[in-house]
Amino acid sequence: MSSPGNIEWHFSGVRLLSDDGFGDSSQIIRNYILEGDAPLVSIFGGKMTMARKLAESVLSWLPPIFVNMRDPWTEDALLPGGEMDDFAYFTDELVEDYPELEEDWLRGVARRHST
């Protein structure tokens, strides 16, 4: 049975919802908003699953100031930790390499953080 005494870890994520003038908050678009004048760009909202797209959007505001910037390149690039071919093999190897660590915990860390 779960109780506050046996909770080992918790997390709460809060995402800003920008008021778009509509009265019903369930209808607010949960995308990000960029405002400002480069090189100062303010970001409102967004979510982790959009981080790469958001970063490229911010960078698209900067070429007038940073004229030697290269074109966007991250769309097909692997994120750090994503360079494995077979996740099951990767986690099996971790379990074998670190037998002193609890298997469920180790597999959970690998699932959350990858390599």
Residue-wise pLDDT tens digits, 69-95: 888 888 788 777 777 789 999 999 999
* Whether residues 32 and 50 fall in one domain: yes
86 in the same domain as 54: no
**Does residue 53 share a domain with residue 10?**
yes
- Pair (69, 14) in one structural domain: yes
84 and 110 assigned to the same domain: yes
Do 1 and 36 lie in one domain? The reply is yes
Q: How many domains does the chain have?
A: 2
* Per-residue confidence (pLDDT) for residue 89, from 0 to 100: 93
Domain finish residue from 42, 57, 74: 74
Segment 3-26 mean pLDDT: 74
How high is the mean pLDDT of the chain? 82
Instruction: Report which residue type is found at 64.
Output: P
Residues of the domain holding 90: 78-115
Query: Both 63 and 84 in a single domain?
Result: no
pTM over 0.85: no
Q: Is residue 57 domain-shared with residue 89, that is, in the same domain? A: no
Q: Which residue has the tokens 């909202």?
A: 45
**Could you tell me if 70 and 96 lie in one domain?**
no
Rounded distance between C-alpha atoms, residue 33 and residue 4, angstroms:
37
